[in-house]
Structure 1
Amino acid sequence: MTLPHSTYRLQFRNGMDFAGACRLVPYLERLGISHLYASPVMTAVGGSTHGYDVTDANEIDPALGGLEGLRALADTLHARGLGLILDIVPNHMAAHLENPWWHSVVALGADSPFAHHFDIDWTEPLTLPFLGKAFEEEVASGTIRLAFDPAHETLALRYHDSFYPLHPGTHDQALEGSEDLEQISSNPARIAAIHAAQPWRLTDWKTAGRHLSYRRFFEIAGLVGLRVEDPQVFDDSHRLTLALVRDGTVDGLRIDHIDGLADPAAYLERLRSAVGPDLPLFVEKILEKEEPFATSWPVEGTTGYEFIASLADALVDEQEGGRLSKTFAPLRREGHAGSYGEEMQASKRQMLSENFEGEVKRVAMLAKALADRAQADLSRTTLVDAIRGLVIALPVYRTYTTAAGGDERDRLVLSAARQQALDAARPEVREAIDFIFELLVDDETCKALPDCVEFRTRLQQLSGPIMAKALEDTLFYRENAFIALNEVGGDPGRPTGGPEAFHAAMSARAQTMPKGLSATSTHDTKRGEDARARLYTLSEAPDRWIAATERWATLNARFRRVHVPEPDVEWLIYQALAGIWPIGGLEDHEAMQTLGARMTPYIEKALREAKLASDWSQPDVAYEEKVTGFVTDLLGHEPFLKDFNETLSPFIDAGLMNSLGQTLIKLTAPGIPDIYQGSERADFSLVDPDNRPLLDVASVAVPERPQPAPAHFMDYKQWLVATALAERARHPDLFAGPYVPIDLSDGNRQALAFLRGTPQAFALTIVPRLTFGKTRPDALLLTEDATRGLALTVPAGFEGRAVQSALDGRTFTLDRTMAIAELFKTEPIALLVSA
């Protein structure tokens, strides 16, 4: 087993299968990729577009080519010296009748051999929230009927195309007096009686947030939590995965949603023991700013969201001064005009009281039982409020306190959350907050109370989804001041820190997580890396952008439908459109024609995620159509298009420079560069599904050295990736070496630079910053004025060393200071490698 030096994320399904991936392998080899990083390939619900809704954890999806197809892909990769990393899903499976384990649980209830494989509360019937209306309404309308399921040869209640199996012990009751299924189905009372006899209850899907008898993945009732902390469940759900590791088919694993597990550290220890000490393991873990990675976990690192957040420090103008935020503030809706921190708390409060009401009640019931045992006079109502208060105050996705206790950092985080919750609480709730805090941090108290460990687990499994849904899928669609920062792992609520903060983060990364993945785009990012890089440039000319939005608001006023879209939504529309505007502008007729088709689903999703005028549970389609109609109208309005195109031109050029800069940073900074499919050329995508295009494997090829010009941007970026990855392959130890920040004469304003390695062998990366209005009109190169007088200071010990440019072949001798203008003479960025 070898550690990757680069990974290429490939999304299977939607037209991509193992045969297609095999045809892609020669291209990946030429690009310089060491490991193909595959999305989940276990059998999933029919028609799945992502594979995270697994129905059989021990079968490779036949729709992709099955086990033979996967092994053929692995053989093709291995024959060319590449490896295969597999994305696995230990937290959940599909709560779908195509899942044989789940079908067994529905059919047999607690008698099923898989009843305890899933995280189900068996003190009540299993809830199945998959009806469109209340059960009584569905029965009255005749949509629920007694039927014979030919696939499983059993009696079932049929709802549309789903056959919910009857418990075998209820078959005689169901057919008592008649075996005419149609006759029985025509009697609503009879159907209700048959239903009442089952170990499950069909309910309206809208009830899932209020009450559910099983742990779900976030808000998705169709995904049921696995009790993978149970050794038997671990073995049963990992049998094929471990076999593929042991026979050499798979060379690494990516673990999805590690924070959903009851005890992530224990799971990872068990997995590490099963796969051996050398197999690369990466966890999907979202770290908040300045949250350290758990270095005690036996893994290489995370999948790299924190790296994206650091790139904002590197490329956003830290002296923007909050002008975008100040302009956006008056545009906010009534009732949502607080500070970013206040709005975050409000979003978490909404999730806790509405979308996750049932989960909160379940945790509160555990807390109430513990309070009664401890003879604490606390009502369930005050405990609910205390739980909400602590989760709202928690600054991270979760803590990791177990039966063995938590570490010092968890105690500090919980102590700070306790104090914040106390400050905001009513007097009668404060005692409950202290009681819950004691359960979480006082191990002696917890040991004395049965079920205290389960309480700890449930609370921690709740806090992660609350943070994710409140932040990523609510607040990031409300706080639209500067949407480039609204990214997983980011913190739009505070200013970026500039190169100093970036260098600090990379220095720490080199020490604590040098083998983690460095991502710039993923299947879950809010927008593609190049769209984000372009939007960073709004910080360089905020006044120009603000003036333009005010001009466009007047220009497009005729298209509003009775104050719709609201000012904050219109602001979002202009920024989202700026991110995906074609490089060639109005001259790129083909790309221009797709904008409307791409923006419409994005806007619909953004409106529902914001949960202000529409949402997923009760979408206001008429309202949404007014907003998308506005977008359609402005995209057909020639004066607006011309103005927008002209205004955006310098932002586009500066954004392309940012794109190339962040690409080179990713390829040379601490960590393993991860390339999301197609992004080696360009990724100007919006959130999924816009970011799931099918790769044309027949046409991909690494180009010869192209000219650095806007018209050749995609070729140049692809060539840059291949060139830098070739250097990594030639010098693996060098790029695993120390990280050394480099100072520039202007205080690191116009460029960012760092060294990797030691004076004996090193590489020097230099990328431009803040290039708005400073690029040549004919090329992706800086003007002479942009870098006049700018120089970098070579650290002691590196002076006098000969270096060669990996991009244009020129050679230099490092003096104490080096003029940046010379380094950027022929290329927009610079990578110098010691000779």
Structure 2
Amino acid sequence: MTLRATYRLQFTADFRFADGAALAPYLSRLGVSHVYASPVFAARPGSTHGYDVTDYNRLNPELGSEAEFRAMAAAFRDHGLGLILDFVPNHMGIGGAGNAFWESVLEWGPDSPWAHWFDIDWKAPGMGGKVLFPFLGAPFGVVLVEGGLRLRLDEDGRLAVWAHDSHRLPICPRDYQAVLAQAGSPLAGAFAAMEGAGPTDPRWPDLHRQLAENPPDLDAYEGRPGDPSSWAALASLIAQQHWRASKFNLDADAINYRRFFTISDLAGVRVEHERVFEETHALILSFLREGLADGIRIDHIDGLLDPKGYCLRLRAAVPRRFPLYVEKILGPEEHLPEDWETDGTTGYEFANEIVGVVTDPSGEALLTESYHAFTGRTEPAAEVVHAAKVAVLEGPMAAELAALTSRFAALAAQVPDWADIGQGALRRGLVQVIAALDVYRTYADAEGIAPEGRARIQTALARAAAALPGADPAVLALIGAVLAGDLRDRLPSARADVTEAAMRFQQLSGPVMAKGLEDRALYRYNRLIALNEVGSEPGHHGMAVAAFHLAQATRARTAPRNLLGTSSHDTKRGEDARMRIAAISGHVPLWQQKVAEWHDLLADPGAPIDRNEEYFLYQLLVGAWPATGEPASDLPDRVTEAMLKSVREAGVNSRWVFGDSHYEAALGDFIRRAFASDRFRASFRGFLDHIGGDMLANSLIQTALKFTLPGVPDLYQGAEMLDQSLVDPDNRRPVDFSRRAASLGLLQQPGPLWPGGKPDLARLDEDKLALTARLLQLRAAQPELFATGSYEPLAAEGPAAESFLGFLRQQGGQMLIVAVALHGGTRRPADWEDTRLVLPGWAAGPWHDVISDRPAAGLEPGRLFRHGPVAVLTAGI
């Protein structure tokens, strides 16, 4: 099945497989070729996203049965649609109860048949061979004495300590005998006879069944709240277990299992081991081999120890070529390694290219001045990012940093020149090298490192040296020798340890970049938050047209099947919210004036909020406020939740752990004043009306480019109409598919986007849906033109030439011209009338206007943009 365009569906308990099947006729009519499903495998109960998987080889029962999944896949296929599955190999959900594999590890420790799945350091200092369980709401002793830990016999005949009535901590069956003897249970002897029996002994299930039928009296393990001595028996039993329960914030210092970023209830999986790969991929590989699923999207590829080896193993496991996409954030001038044999990334880089090219460069200087003057924040974006990454390493990821430091110190001890490097100096060096990297990770493995990776390491080492004046040069020399693999030649007997240390470094640098850049710096540097997106470079103001063309030509040559994503479950804002905020760049003087006016209307000197976050809020409102009419009743709550998440991620005035409730309350009050103030709403609406044409133009430009540029467009659910969603979970709200299906069915005959030459703000949703459908139908009619067609930039001459973006694509006997008018707010109609499109002589046409379905009136920009900011033309040679 030819891959032309994907449509992302988010499955939840409220949107199940049967609901997905019911959408097949609509999605087929819309024109996509594949459904791209959120994770469908068993996850924690109530999960709204599915990334906290608990069983790789079972479908999530909250989404439906296997029969319903198969029926959905069949419905898709009957309507000409393929299916791509989102898969999460890096981590599993472990908090609460329900992950039998992790609970087996807690129960049996290293002897568990599933211990090899998880990346646990059983020899971590201070842990006594136990795995940390950091989910208590207070220190262990406090929770114990207050009765927050209770020993219970579960329905399956297993003993467990339940923490806060929500987290299950199993008791090792080897300790049952003492518990049962204390209770006077006749089964005590039977369990005593199991001394030395391993977890796979076939006698255990029968004993647990008997225990379930004859529950013991566990009163001896109950105590009196507030009386420490009364809990001594339970404390003694807990002390014998393979887990250590602690207050949640101990994870920063003592975590001894790899986790997803700083999320302790997501534990890393050692999928680099062939046995673990086979055990965790049995079901999804069977779906691929059977043809039930057509392809896979791999979540968080950078979290894996060996991304290349993983991708190649996937390829080898299926006897046909299938679409394979990886969630990978590319840094500046970074390209996905070709030897991974993937079809590309999920498209974060494309989303940043689009918002960059629509951002008006003429407003940069005044916007920067306005931002500095209003907020008082003048530090360069690079400093903001560096400080945020250092703070992450020294704070929530200090335990991971300590473990990595120990690995490097062990290697240093084997080299006479470096044997006296102290762990403190080594730790400081690692912090600065990680903070200096401009990509999420490099990719050294047992085969070595690519020249591109070696160059990035050298650059990071040079930056780290500048940040560490007076430091021993041997520290960075050691780090560089490990990361580039050069130390393997010097220590032949420790080759595997050197490679392991380099790969572990890579597994840490990615999360630090994610938490430091994505989840701190992008909420701290707020000059224009449309540009603050996953994969962006803070401080960069837009993208020149020439650079945009280069990026597209490179994609056409090296990754023609790369996904072109503009919204996802991970983006900071929906694609049209981003386009609306970007429009500010063309109206900076008015923006500057309005921000000062709004501050005077809303500020409360008795409960001030940070002006940097106030500046962020006004932009957020620009993105979320409806184009016409009054805000919906739920918008104040949505904005408040998004702002609270933003300030907690920023970590300046509040945070997720030990946040400032008084500041958060002041912020909530500020937002309520904004929505309640007639004067503010009137002023804000006036500003939006003034820039409304540019906001709509940006959305249509984004849509036109997305569906015509080299690559495979990916539609996030519901985004065929305006997507003004905010950060997750706001972007996972239910979608009104019935409205979209009805609107698609009612679309009238093709015609100009703006018949009167001006945007109709009441038809924003319909205009975007119509343009999306027409371009998807064009892709379906001419698949080879879009799959393999050339990409040739077009230029214009005249007063509006700098605001023109156009390209020509050709394949066989078919040609396509796409032209867009950028930065409309800074151009007069006469500018376009006096601007001329430069075309190669062989592309004379005749040309057909795809949007209006009429012969093109002419190729002069003044004609092309008479009825809208985009033009799409086709011709045969």
CA distance in 2, matches of 1:370, 1:662: 51
Counterparts of 1:37-76 in structure 2, within 5 Å, are 37-76=36-75
Question: Which secondary structure state, in structure 1, belongs to the residue aligned with residue 394 of structure 2?
Answer: helix
Counterparts of 1:106-185 in structure 2, within 5 Å, are 106-123=106-123, 124-151=129-156, 153-178=158-183, 180-185=217-222
Q: Which runs of 4+ in 1 moved over 4 A?
A: 330-333
CA distance in 2, matches of 1:410, 1:155: 48
| Equivalent residue, structure 1, for 2:482 | 439
Q: Which amino acid aligns with 1:410?
A: G
- State the Cα distance separating 1:10 from its structure 2 match: 0.6
Counterparts of 1:279-428 in structure 2, within 5 Å, are 279-332=322-375, 337-375=378-416, 376-428=419-471
- State the Cα distance separating 1:773 from its structure 2 match: 6.9
CA distance in 1, matches of 2:867, 2:121: 65
Distance 1:86 1:748, change over 3 A: farther
Aligned mate of 2:610, from 560, 563, 566: 566
Aligned mate of 1:625, from 660, 665, 674: 665
Distance 1:597 1:260, change over 3 A: same
Which string of whole-angstrom CA distances, capped at 9 and with x for unpartnered residues, describes residues 677-707 of structure 1?
0010110111111111212333432141476
Question: Which secondary structure state, in structure 2, belongs to the residue aligned with residue 93 of structure 1?
Answer: strand
Q: Which amino acid aligns with 1:727?
A: L
- State the Cα distance separating 1:402 from its structure 2 match: 0.8
| Equivalent residue, structure 2, for 1:545 | 591
Give yes or no for the alignment of 1:583 onto 2:620.
Answer: no
Distance 1:347 1:57, change over 3 A: same
Q: Which amino acid aligns with 1:345?
A: H
Question: Which secondary structure state, in structure 1, belongs to the residue aligned with residue 738 of structure 2?
Answer: coil
Which string of whole-angstrom CA distances, capped at 9 and with x for unpartnered residues, describes residues 479-507 of structure 1?
11110100011112123232111111111
| Equivalent residue, structure 2, for 1:98 | 98
Counterparts of 1:198-213 in structure 2, within 5 Å, are 198-213=241-256
- State the Cα distance separating 1:363 from its structure 2 match: 0.2
Question: Which secondary structure state, in structure 2, belongs to the residue aligned with residue 673 of structure 1?
Answer: strand
- State the Cα distance separating 1:594 from its structure 2 match: 2.7
- State the Cα distance separating 1:3 from its structure 2 match: 4.1
Aligned mate of 1:257, from 276, 291, 300: 300
Unaligned 5+ segments in structure 2 are: 124-128, 185-216, 224-229, 755-759
Question: Contact 1:383 / 1:429 at 8 angstroms: preserved in 2?
Answer: no
Give yes or no for the alignment of 1:739 onto 2:808.
Answer: no
Distance 1:762 1:555, change over 3 A: same
CA distance in 2, matches of 1:614, 1:382: 31
Question: Which secondary structure state, in structure 1, belongs to the residue aligned with residue 287 of structure 2?
Answer: helix
Question: Contact 1:91 / 1:226 at 8 angstroms: preserved in 2?
Answer: yes
Question: Contact 2:382 / 2:538 at 8 angstroms: preserved in 1?
Answer: no
Question: Which secondary structure state, in structure 2, belongs to the residue aligned with residue 530 of structure 1?
Answer: helix
Question: Contact 1:139 / 1:188 at 8 angstroms: preserved in 2?
Answer: yes
CA distance in 1, matches of 2:384, 2:374: 14
CA distance in 1, matches of 2:87, 2:577: 29
| Equivalent residue, structure 2, for 1:785 | 830
Distance 1:567 1:163, change over 3 A: closer
Which string of whole-angstrom CA distances, capped at 9 and with x for unpartnered residues, describes residues 250-291 of structure 1?
011000000000000000000011123410000000012321
Residue range with higher mean Cα deviation, 460-469 or 747-756: 747-756
Question: Which secondary structure state, in structure 2, belongs to the residue aligned with residue 90 of structure 1?
Answer: coil
- State the Cα distance separating 1:759 from its structure 2 match: 7.5
Question: Contact 2:836 / 2:860 at 8 angstroms: preserved in 1?
Answer: yes
| Equivalent residue, structure 2, for 1:611 | 651
CA distance in 1, matches of 2:698, 2:166: 50
CA distance in 2, matches of 1:827, 1:338: 40
| Equivalent residue, structure 2, for 1:477 | 523
Unaligned 5+ segments in structure 1 are: 775-782
| Equivalent residue, structure 2, for 1:488 | 534
Distance 1:69 1:445, change over 3 A: farther
Which string of whole-angstrom CA distances, capped at 9 and with x for unpartnered residues, describes residues 724-775 of structure 1?
011111111111211110001146423211111158311111111111276x
Question: Which secondary structure state, in structure 1, belongs to the residue aligned with residue 321 of structure 2?
Answer: coil
Distance 1:759 1:710, change over 3 A: farther
Number of residues of Structure 1 aligned to a counterpart in Structure 2: 814
CA distance in 1, matches of 2:731, 2:820: 27
| Equivalent residue, structure 1, for 2:213 | none
Which string of whole-angstrom CA distances, capped at 9 and with x for unpartnered residues, describes residues 523-578 of structure 1?
11111111111111111111111111012112223xx2525212112111111101
CA distance in 2, matches of 1:157, 1:317: 57
Q: Which amino acid aligns with 1:47?
A: G
CA distance in 2, matches of 1:31, 1:419: 52
- State the Cα distance separating 1:318 from its structure 2 match: 2.0
CA distance in 2, matches of 1:604, 1:456: 37
Question: Contact 2:358 / 2:542 at 8 angstroms: preserved in 1?
Answer: no
Aligned mate of 2:507, from 458, 461, 464: 461
Q: Which amino acid aligns with 1:486?
A: N
Counterparts of 1:755-834 in structure 2, within 5 Å, are 755-758=808-811, 760-772=813-825, 784-785=829-830, 787-798=832-843, 800-812=844-856, 818-834=859-875
Give yes or no for the alignment of 1:229 onto 2:272.
Answer: yes
Give the CA RMSD over aligned residues.
1.8
CA distance in 1, matches of 2:862, 2:638: 40
Q: Which amino acid aligns with 1:793?
A: V
CA distance in 2, matches of 1:277, 1:382: 51
Question: Contact 1:301 / 1:517 at 8 angstroms: preserved in 2?
Answer: yes
CA distance in 2, matches of 1:772, 1:290: 31
Residue range with higher mean Cα deviation, 142-151 or 73-82: 142-151
Give yes or no for the alignment of 1:751 onto 2:804.
Answer: yes
- State the Cα distance separating 1:41 from its structure 2 match: 0.5
Which string of whole-angstrom CA distances, capped at 9 and with x for unpartnered residues, describes residues 196-251 of structure 1?
10011111111112111100001111111010000010001000000001111101
Aligned mate of 1:661, from 689, 701, 710: 701
Distance 1:637 1:156, change over 3 A: closer
Question: Contact 1:403 / 1:453 at 8 angstroms: preserved in 2?
Answer: yes
CA distance in 2, matches of 1:131, 1:176: 29
| Equivalent residue, structure 2, for 1:779 | none
Q: Which amino acid aligns with 1:795?
A: P
CA distance in 2, matches of 1:483, 1:634: 20
CA distance in 2, matches of 1:693, 1:198: 42
Residue range with higher mean Cα deviation, 104-113 or 765-774: 765-774
Question: Which secondary structure state, in structure 1, belongs to the residue aligned with residue 75 of structure 2?
Answer: helix
Question: Contact 1:11 / 1:50 at 8 angstroms: preserved in 2?
Answer: yes
| Equivalent residue, structure 2, for 1:778 | none
Q: Which amino acid aligns with 1:75?
A: A
- State the Cα distance separating 1:664 from its structure 2 match: 0.5
Residue range with higher mean Cα deviation, 377-386 or 37-46: 377-386
Distance 1:681 1:296, change over 3 A: same
- State the Cα distance separating 1:447 from its structure 2 match: 4.2
Counterparts of 1:716-735 in structure 2, within 5 Å, are 716-735=767-786
CA distance in 1, matches of 2:869, 2:857: 20
Calculate the TM-score normalised by the size of structure 2.
Answer: 0.90
Distance 1:758 1:78, change over 3 A: closer
Question: Which secondary structure state, in structure 2, belongs to the residue aligned with residue 548 of structure 1?
Answer: helix
Distance 1:59 1:569, change over 3 A: same
Q: Which amino acid aligns with 1:106?
A: L
